[in-house]
Amino acid sequence: MGNMKEYTIAVVGATGAVGQKMIQLLEKSEIPLKELKLLASARSAGKTATFKGKEYKIEETTNESFKNVDIALFSAGGSITKAFEKAARESGAVVIDNTSAFRMDENTPLVVPEVNAEALHNHNQLIANPNCSTTQMVVALKPIKEAFGLSRVIVSTYQAVSGAGVEALEELDTQTASVLKGEEVEASILPSAGDKKHYQMAFNVIPQIDLFSDEGYTFEEWKMINETKKIMGMPNLKVSATCVRVPVKYGHSESVYIEIDKDDVSVADLRAVLADAPGIIVQDDPSTQLYPLATESEDKKDTFVGRIRKDPDDKKGFHLWIVSDNLIKGAAWNSIQIAETMIDMNLI
Amino acid sequence: MGNMKEYTIAVVGATGAVGQKMIQLLEKSEIPLKELKLLASARSAGKTATFKGKEYKIEETTNESFKNVDIALFSAGGSITKAFEKAARESGAVVIDNTSAFRMDENTPLVVPEVNAEALHNHNQLIANPNCSTTQMVVALKPIKEAFGLSRVIVSTYQAVSGAGVEALEELDTQTASVLKGEEVEASILPSAGDKKHYQMAFNVIPQIDLFSDEGYTFEEWKMINETKKIMGMPNLKVSATCVRVPVKYGHSESVYIEIDKDDVSVADLRAVLADAPGIIVQDDPSTQLYPLATESEDKKDTFVGRIRKDPDDKKGFHLWIVSDNLIKGAAWNSIQIAETMIDMNLI
């Protein structure tokens, strides 16, 4: 960290899957901490959480919660962000929001530090953290764009159940146990708690994440399409997406097809550029069956890339297999990394 | 069936996952059956199987097994096909082979009846049944090609564990139970029994099916690429594939991106053409969360298509979500359907 200032940090949504990861990551962060405030809904207020061996009481989020807070990390759903971001900013806090509430707002930077840290200069005390499936993809796309140009992205995802929250993880376990015992399976959360119909997730794949939006796409798919264009600063980049939930607990996997501008790039060239890029670990060796696996990504900050191949029928087409822990780089770590980067840039 | 002839049918590999499905499907087939011969390895000989309430003894496959056999359905691995197809043909049998042994042989028709039944005229007592992941895809691609032209296919698969055999299914169950109990997971079969390293399949996705071949692609991916071009009769069709195993028991799902020739086709046009096509059930209504699911495809002969969407950045680009039971249309049913079709065409 570039200075000796100490910061008061609030975590809004401290009892959620992402909030819990934020607390764990803050324990290891280099940010000099003056005070930590753990906030949640009235329902969770009074519970406790441990931070650096000390017990912290979780408080209800109110407009008064943000007094003397320097950095407010929001991850409690878009409605909570919309309800409290103004109070937080008026109290002087910089809000780093992990919900979709302000991601496409043109006055709000949408930031993945490896990709577009420079956008942080335009913050108005509010920075949006992208959708998990977008974040890991743009980490890999950025160095490719810089080295070879990029014209097109077609992605199919294999997304972990933890992205749907703690209750969805419990439902996966319960359903899985039922299938193994030959019992009837009950579904009440997945694919989306807010939707009408619920389907078995155990031993199944569900091609729906979030609710359906227009043109037959889900909101999750539109997030990947629109957020990628915004973060990459490429409004004309062709992006299309199919988002699918798989019975995995942690770690999103993505089959990403890209078209680059140059037609004389080899797989070795692409691999070298990715290996040199920040935040990426290349795992790509067919001779030793080395490729990224969701189970191996758990609790790691990196984005793992492998299965790098050229389209046999298109010199500019390549496949990538991109894996990262959706709760870490896809959510909690990217938020804290934004805070660390802003401190380094003397923006907080 | 077009005539009253009765047929003696042999199932080679009768104890395997596909062989067992063949026996079940033959019970309901319209083929007039004179005699059924169930063949397997020496190891399985002496076991029994039930067919129409009667017990059948499973015999060891030898060169003499095919006497008086009219139709020999092979599904016991490429080496068994190579060892016995000649004896079967010399005995007068028509061999319908579910292995990869002869699929790319230029003198052997590779057939999905809905797509290229006319290729059966050129049979030389040997017809190849395509790879499971290819079959369900071409069923959907054919009517699209006929109506709108087709120039490109990019597919990412979500393939069920049953495609790797009965022991792989048992490994998935054992691993899953271990994870639920918090015990150590052991892997000795998946992703490919013949490869060196084995990875956890429970609550994971593995981007490797079959062994690795050249250019960083697996054999499974090359099968999808080359077989699709052959069956569609389109050597210049651009096809690329990423094949991925998911912790699903039955039913392959595929995220298929296509480019058609016409640029004025709507999603409704595409849906109508697919709904009219043989072997396809369209399940596609975002307003009621209707889309194909692997668990719903089990033991069905149809190919299910949904999530039909236009690429927001490309008038000729569309997404499809294609699901079918990999052991039924992907293997056993397609083989029996080839036999039924050949009888109808007076070729047997």
Distances (CA, A) of A4 to A217, A344, B39: 47, 11, 78
Task: Evaluate whether residue A126 is within a structural domain.
Answer: yes
- Residue A165 forms part of a structural domain: yes
Query: CB-side exposure of A17: number of CA atoms within 13 Å?
Result: 21
Per-residue confidence (pLDDT) for residue A275, from 0 to 100: 98
With CA atoms as reference, report the closest residue to B158 among B227, B206, B223: B206
Q: Are both A88 and A169 inside the same structural domain?
A: no
Say if the Cβ atoms of A158 and B200 lie within 8 Å. no
Task: Identify which of A207, A248, A321 has the shortest CB distance to residue B203.
Answer: A248
Which pLDDT belongs to residue B119? Answer: 98
The H-assigned helical ranges of A11-77 are 17-28
pLDDT grade, residue B302 (50/70/90)? very high
HSE toward the beta carbon, residue B188, CA cutoff 13 A: 5
- Check if A84 contacts B (Cβ < 8 Å): no
CA A26 to chain centre: 17
Enclosing H/E stretch for A255: strand A252-259
Question: Do the domain assignments include residue B207?
Answer: yes
A216/B154 CB distance under 8 A: no
Residue of chain A whose Cα is closest to the Cα of B240? A311
How far is B312 from A226, CA to CA, in rounded Å? 11
A244 with A267, same domain: the answer is: yes
Task: Give B165-190 as a DSSP string.
Answer: -HHHHHHHHHHHHHHHHTPPP--SSS
**Same domain flag for A154 and A291:** yes
Tens-digit pLDDT profile for residues A23-64: 999 999 999 999 999 999 999 999 999 999 999 999 999 999
Same domain as B285, residue B157: yes
Are residues B292 and B233 located together in one domain of the fold?
Answer: yes
Distance separating alpha carbons of residues A35 and A56, to the nearest angstrom: 11
Q: Any catalytic annotation for residue A252?
A: yes
CATH number for position B175: 3.30.360.10
Q: Where are the alpha helices (DSSP H) in chain A?
A: 17-28, 78-90, 113-116, 132-148, 166-181, 219-232, 267-276, 294-297, 333-344
Quick one: what percent of chain A has pLDDT higher than 90?
Answer: 99
- Chain B's closest residue to A322, CA to CA, is B207
pLDDT exceeds 60 at position A3: no
The residue range of the domain holding B41 is 7-130+331-344
The token duo for A53 is: 């061996």
The confidence score (pLDDT) of residue B263 equals 96
Q: Considering only CB atoms, which chain B residues are within 8 Å of A294?
A: 204-205
Of the candidates A52, A65, A61, the one whose C-alpha atom is nearest the C-alpha of residue A25 is A52
Distances from the Cα of A35 to the Cα of A7, A15, A344, B287, angstroms:
7, 18, 19, 47
Do A306 and A276 belong together in one domain? Answer: yes
Query: Domain count of chain B?
Result: 2
The dihedral built from the CA positions of residue A96, A97, A98 and A104, taken in this order, carries a sign that is negative
Taking a C-beta distance cutoff of 8 angstroms, is the pair A345, A97 a contact? no
Dihedral (Cα; B23, B29, B33, B38), 10-degree rounding: -10
Domain assignment of residue B2, yes or no: no
Is B132 marked active-site?
A: yes
On whether the CB atoms of residues A309 and A303 are closer than 8 A, the answer is no
- pLDDT of res. B3: 56
**Residue B4 clears pLDDT 80, i.e. is over it:** no
Instruction: State the average pLDDT over residues B103-128.
Output: 97
Nearest neighbour of B176 by CB, restricted to A156, A180, A310 = A180
* Per-residue pLDDT reduced to its tens digit, B118-130: 999 999 999 999 9
**What CATH number has the domain bearing residue A18?**
3.40.50.720
A-B Cβ pairs (cutoff 8 Å, strict): 167
Q: Is A323 annotated as a binding residue?
A: no
Is A284 part of a structural domain of the chain?
Answer: yes
Domain assignment of residue A1, yes or no: no
Residue B339 phi, psi dihedral angles, 5° rounding: -60, -45
CA A305 from centre of chain: 16
Q: Rounded CA gap, B227 and B214, in Å?
A: 17
Closest C-alpha among B11, B25, B22 to residue B95: B11
Instruction: Give the CA diameter of chain B.
Output: 61
- Helix ranges (DSSP H) in chain B: 17-28, 78-90, 113-116, 132-148, 166-181, 219-232, 267-276, 294-297, 333-344
Residues from chain A that touch B306, judged by Cβ atoms under 8 A, are: 207
> Do B125 and B153 share a domain, yes or no?
no
| Residue B52's pLDDT band (cuts 50, 70, 90) | very high
Q: Which residue has the tokens 């870490």?
A: A328
**For residue B40, is it within any domain?**
yes
- Which residues are CB-contacts of B265 (< 8 A; sequence separation ≥ 6)? B148, B316, B318
* Confidence class for position A4, pLDDT limits 50, 70, 90: confident
A96 in any annotated domain: yes
- Read off the pLDDT of residues A202-247 as tens digits, 9 standing for 90 and up: 999 999 999 999 999 999 999 999 999 999 999 999 999 999 999 9
- Best interface-test mutation with B: which of A222, A223, A240, A253 has the largest number of B CBs within 10 A? A240
A36 with A178, same domain? no
Please check the confidence at residue B113 and state whether its pLDDT lies above 90. yes
B80-88 CB contacts, 8 Å cutoff, 24+ apart:
B80/B12, B80/B13, B80/B41, B81/B12, B84/B12, B85/B126, B87/B63, B88/B10
Q: How many percent of chain A have pLDDT more than 70?
A: 99
Burial of A181 (0-12, 13-18, 19+ CB in 10 A): exposed
Q: Is A69 annotated as a binding residue?
A: no
Instruction: Please state, in angstroms and rounded to a whole number, the distance separating the CA atoms of residues A293 and A24.
Output: 23
Q: B83 to chain A nearest CA, in Å?
A: 30
Do A154 and A18 belong together in one domain? no
pLDDT of amino acid A38: 98
Rounded Cα distance between B319 and B152, Å, is 12
Residues A123, A180, single domain; the answer is: no
Burial state string for B246-272 with b = 16 or more CB within 10 A and e = fewer than 16: bbbbbbbbbbbbbbbeeeebeeeebbe
Same domain, yes or no: B148 and B122: no
3-state secondary structure of A180: helix
Burial label, B146 (beta-carbon count in 10 A; 0-12, 13-18, 19+): exposed
Q: What is the pLDDT of residues B137-183, one digit of tens each?
A: 999 999 999 999 999 999 999 999 999 999 999 999 999 999 999 99
Alpha-carbon distance of B297 to A42, in angstroms, equals 44
Q: Tell whether the model's pLDDT for residue B201 goes beyond 80.
A: yes
Smallest Cα distance from B277 to chain A, Å: 22
A204 touches chain B (CB under 8 A): yes
Residues A181 and A309 grouped into a single domain = yes
Q: Which of A121, A132, A243, A319 is catalytic?
A: A132
pLDDT digits 0-9 by tens, A322-337: 999 999 999 999 999 9
